[in-house]
Amino acid sequence: MVHQDPDVEQLRRTVTPFLAELRAKSYPEQREMFDAAMGGEPLPEGVELQALDLSGVVAEKIIHPRAAAGKALLFLHGGGYVIGSIKTNRSLLSRLAVAADVTGYHIDYRLAPEHPYPAALEDAFSAYRAILASGVKPENLIVGGESAGGNLATALLLKVRDSGLPQPAGLYLLSPWLDMSTTGETYDRVGARDPITSRDAMRVYAAAFLGDRRDDAYTSPVRADLSGLPLIMIQVGTEEVLLSDSLTFVNRAALAGQGVRLDVWSGMPHIWPAFHAAVRAGRPAIEEAGAWMRSRLGLGS
């Protein structure tokens, strides 16, 4: 029996017509509409924003009074690789940074279809190296992302490994999109209940992102060799078509000898912590993610 959360039901009534209107528009119009809808969320008290350039990549630093010196989170926004920005990610990242007692970093990586794969991965890799070059030690850094940003965060650490660079202290994934094939069981089992996305939507995003490139282990990490990554935490809901991505990924990670924590939240939709103002279950999810990050960074549980 599926748990019916009243906050999620209200979100469903609100977000369904919004997303139908958004997806009928051009990508530039979608980006503007999405930024306007998600970019106005208030930030926690005491949070300050600092514009950055990380090796040519537009970025932003989230600073707050509780941040432990030298401890950081690089968090990558979602949006199917075609929409989303620093503006849409700012509220969620600021709350994760406060919960984890860290300084937050995020980037405006290049978006498809104008900039298909591997543009976003190149930008994330440049930003990662720039953060390390700024003095943040890898053992004091968490890398994370939500939805397509979870795909990008995982691909980034695969590229970091393959390039011989040091891994961060942990990888945090929220409702990650990890398989471009859109063939997971939950597309059929959960598709009618997912208020945020669908197989059709993800296929459109995948085609825009891949362009004329073939899907590979960086674009679909469920098929990658996952050895050599840091400890991983995944939060995913039962009401999202991407649930199978996480289940398959966790199985492969465990078989590769990786330590991985999977938290499946009953009744929760895609990226529900991003809707923390409306879906109250998003707040404890943020706190649990923050506690895991603090533990990985030696700041206590």
Question: Residues with catalytic annotation?
Answer: 147, 240, 270
Q: Would you give the distance in Å from CA 74 to the centre of its chain?
A: 10
Question: How far is it, in rounded angstroms, from Cα 11 to Cα 71?
Answer: 34
In the chain, the amino acid numbered 75 is F
Contacts of 280 (CB under 8 A, 6+ apart): 7
CA distance 165 to 148: 23
In whole angstroms, what is the distance from residue 50 CA to residue 67 CA? 15
Q: Among candidates 300, 292, 301, which has minimal Cα distance to 73?
A: 292
Gap between the Cα atoms of 207 and 220, Å rounded? 13
What SS3 string covers 37-53? HHCCCCCCCCCEEEEEE
And the tokens for 293? 């990050």
Count other C-beta atoms under 10 Å from residue 1's C-beta: 4
